[in-house]
């Protein structure tokens, strides 16, 4: 294990150069050119490591990459990482990759979420393969639309997940380096209210205010939040009407739903439909759109066992790791929903994700790669 850690550590400068290249490529979820550039780069890299690669092309969204390598051991390990960010085109030029070794930080759009994870994954698999470590079948899936719900890649992820025995997700580590073995499920809904327009001064009484109707329903939606059960609903965006002197004939609200158990989704969906069907103002009509986007990632005995193996590796490096439940969802939810033990948040540790202060702790780039390499090696030895 010591030799393995040294091999990984020797690649630190290479990892930093690779990370700088990635961060300085605009790859927001709607910047197809940048996403495709990164996908093509890694298609070449994984082909060079003996993987059979396949780029799944999209007309409008960025492309996705699936890379497969046959192994010597039983099993099928699936690795998930996304190359898209939340930042618009031009962000990389405004705030390119920046090292601050004094504070042990590196900054830039997507540096933590999750381009460092992409670099860590490639470094670890390259190290294990070139050192002739016996491994099971490996599948690497890099997608370009995770930040917008994985519309083009979900089917690819679930297809790969149906064959997987274990899934590893390279999302960022938690603030103290902890790993995630359970995530809430996530849903996206929209309430669309139709009323009747009228002049707000001369014939106000003839109007049916869609905005007023929506305000009542927003309160009903928020009352469904149940912290004890781990259920939250949040109306995060509203819009409606045309002008102050017109009774609004249209209004809409976007709702974020988080749940901890699959059966909660059906119950909340039923209640949301009841809210939509109710008329506070006679004649106001409401349409409910949307549903559950990602099922919960539920903790299992096997996922906990795998985490414990990784925690042992961390301890050998002087790092205490804990397992976490988080409210945020990832592509790992899709695979976990198929019953596959999933370990998430294996990427570098940092903060400020989705902001202009996004960073990673530089020292965690190598440390997290060492933990991943060590954990996979221990798991492979168990199979062997």
Q: What is the pTM of this model?
A: 0.91
Burial 160-172 (b: 16+ CB within 10 A, else e): bbeebebbbbbbb
- The pLDDT score that the predictor gives to residue 287 is 98
- The pLDDT score that the predictor gives to residue 317 is 96
Band of residue 384 on the pLDDT scale cut at 50, 70, 90: confident
**Residues pairing with 286 in the sheet:** 193
**Residues pairing with 356 in the sheet:** none
Give domain limits for the chain: 2-183+297-383, 185-294
- The pLDDT score that the predictor gives to residue 324 is 92
Band of residue 175 on the pLDDT scale cut at 50, 70, 90: confident
What is the rounded CA–CA span in Å between residue 21 and residue 37? Answer: 11
Q: Using DSSP bridges, classify how beta strands 250-259 and 185-194 pair: parallel, antiparallel or unpaired.
A: antiparallel
Percent of the chain with pLDDT over 90: 98
As a CATH number, domain 185-294 is: 3.30.70.360
- Cβ neighbours of residue 88 closer than 8 Å, sequence gap 6 or more: 26, 28, 30, 31
The residue-averaged pLDDT of 248-272 equals 97
- The pLDDT score that the predictor gives to residue 176 is 85
Mind listing the pLDDT tens digit for each residue in 41-97?
999 999 999 999 999 999 999 999 999 999 999 999 999 999 999 999 999 999 999
Percent of the chain with pLDDT over 70: 100
Tokens of 29: 């979820």
What is the rounded CA–CA span in Å between residue 143 and residue 372? Answer: 20
Q: Over the chain, what is the mean pLDDT?
A: 97
**Is residue 23 within 8 Å of residue 96, measured between CB atoms?**
yes
**Residues pairing with 190 in the sheet:** 254, 289
Q: What topology is assigned to 2-183+297-383 in CATH?
A: Aminopeptidase (3.40.630)
What is the rounded CA–CA span in Å between residue 69 and residue 4? Answer: 21
Mind listing the pLDDT tens digit for each residue in 143-171?
999 999 999 999 999 999 999 999 999 99
Mind listing the pLDDT tens digit for each residue in 94-128?
999 999 999 999 999 999 999 999 999 999 999 99
- The pLDDT score that the predictor gives to residue 305 is 97
Mind listing the pLDDT tens digit for each residue in 281-319?
999 999 999 999 999 999 999 999 999 999 999 999 999
**Is residue 113 within 8 Å of residue 358, measured between CB atoms?**
yes
What is the rounded CA–CA span in Å between residue 149 and residue 159? Answer: 17
């Amino acid at each position: 294990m010591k030799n393995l850690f040294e091999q990984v550590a020797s690649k630190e400068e290479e990892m930093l150069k690779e990370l700088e290249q990635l961060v300085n490529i605009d790859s927001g979820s709607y910047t197809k050119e940048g996403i495709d550039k990164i996908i093509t780069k890694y298609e070449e890299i994984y082909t060079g490591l003996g993987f059979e690669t396949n780029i799944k092309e999209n007309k409008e969204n960025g492309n996705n990459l699936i890379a497969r390598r046959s192994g010597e051991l039983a099993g099928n390990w699936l690795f998930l990482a996304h190359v898209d960010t939340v930042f618009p085109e031009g962000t990389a030029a405004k705030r390119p990759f920046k090292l601050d070794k004094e504070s042990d930080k590196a900054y830039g759009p997507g540096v933590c979420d999750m381009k460092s994870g992409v670099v860590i994954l490639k470094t670890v698999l390259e190290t294990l393969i070139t050192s002739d470590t016996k491994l099971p079948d490996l599948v690497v899936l890099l997608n370009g639309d995770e930040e917008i719900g994985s519309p083009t890649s979900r089917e690819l992820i679930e297809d790969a997940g149906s064959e997987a025995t274990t899934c590893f997700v390279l999302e960022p580590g938690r603030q103290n380096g902890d790993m995630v073995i359970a995530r809430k499920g996530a849903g996206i809904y929209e309430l669309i209210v139709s009323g009747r327009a009228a002049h707000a001064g001369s014939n106000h009484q003839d109007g049916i205010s869609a905005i007023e109707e929506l305000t009542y329903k927003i309160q009903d939606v928020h009352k469904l939040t149940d912290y004890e059960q781990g259920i939250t609903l949040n109306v995060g965006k509203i819009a409606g009407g045309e002008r102050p002197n017109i009774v609004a004939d249209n209004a809409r609200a976007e709702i974020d739903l988080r749940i901890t158990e699959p059966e909660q989704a059906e119950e909340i969906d039923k209640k949301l439909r009841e809210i939509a069907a109710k008329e506070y103002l006679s004649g106001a009509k409401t349409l409910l759109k949307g549903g559950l986007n990602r099922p919960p990632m539920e903790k299992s005995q096997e996922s906990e066992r795998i985490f414990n193996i990784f925690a042992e590796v961390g301890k050998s490096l002087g790092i205490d790791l804990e397992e976490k439940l988080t409210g945020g969802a990832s592509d790992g939810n899709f695979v976990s929903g198929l019953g596959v033990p999933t370990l998430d948040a294996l990427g570098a540790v940092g903060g400020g994700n989705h902001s202009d202060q996004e960073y990673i702790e530089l020292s965690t780039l190598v440390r997290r790669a060492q933990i991943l390499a060590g954990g996979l090696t221990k798991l492979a030895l168990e199979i062997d």
